[in-house]
Amino acid sequence: MKNILFTLMILAFAGLLQAQDIKIYNPEANAKADIKAAVKEAAESGKHVFLQIGGNWCSWCIKFHQFVENDAEISEFVQNNFVVVKVNYDPKNKNEEVLSDLGYPQRFGFPVFVILDGNGNRIHTQNSAFLEKDKGYDRDRVLRFYKNWSPTALDPKSYK
């Protein structure tokens, strides 16, 4: 019994180490320049900008990234409606100026999501905790979140 428990602990620890190897945020990135480029692309393509703010140290940030990537419908919806920028936050690069300009979204914890329109205006900040269920993310809540902040949802012509 002790050997089984020990083996399970080793496997769990190895899983944590492997999860730490996932790098979805670039600590060296220039978030301000990346956001500016994303806003330009969004304006040209009729999309919104989706900022996923967090860090490679954040298990929930990695979990969200994998959740979206592994769900074909959500992933396709995001690709069709948003230009995605992953904004790094860690001790070496807190992107304080960018987060200040965005209204301090880090107050909600990480990950935190910010939606910008094609002009670069912040139209929504989302506390990711409201998209969680149990020890993961709720598919219906996440998809509803994206749909509610898509360009179509905010287009007055959609309601005529």
Phi, psi (rounded to 5 degrees) for 42: -65, -40
Q: What is the pLDDT of residues 113-124, one digit of tens each?
A: 999 999 999 999
Each residue's pLDDT tens digit, 46-100: 999 999 999 999 999 999 999 999 999 999 999 999 999 999 999 989 999 999 9
Quote the CA–CA distance of 47 and 74 in Å, as a whole number.
15
- Residue length of the chain: 160
Is residue 120 domain-resident?
yes
- Does any domain span residue 35? yes
User: How sure is the predictor about 130, in pLDDT bands with cuts at 50, 70 and 90?
Assistant: very high
Contacts of residue 93, defined as CB under 8 A and 6 or more positions apart, other chains included, come to 27, 28
Q: What is the DSSP-derived secondary structure letter of residue 58?
A: -
- Report the CATH number at residue 72: 3.40.30.10
Residue-range definition of the domain harbouring residue 42: 23-152
Residues ≥6 apart with Cβ < 8 Å to 134: none
**127 in a domain, yes or no?**
yes
Residue 14 covered by a domain: no
Is residue 12 assigned to a domain? no
Q: Let me know if residue 3 belongs to a domain.
A: no
Domain count, the chain: 1
In DSSP notation, 6-41 reads HHHHHHHHHHHHHHHT---S-TTS-HHHHHHHHHHH
Q: What is the mean pLDDT of residues 8-30?
A: 67
In a domain, 75, yes or no: yes
Is position 13 within any domain?
no
pTM score, whole prediction = 0.86
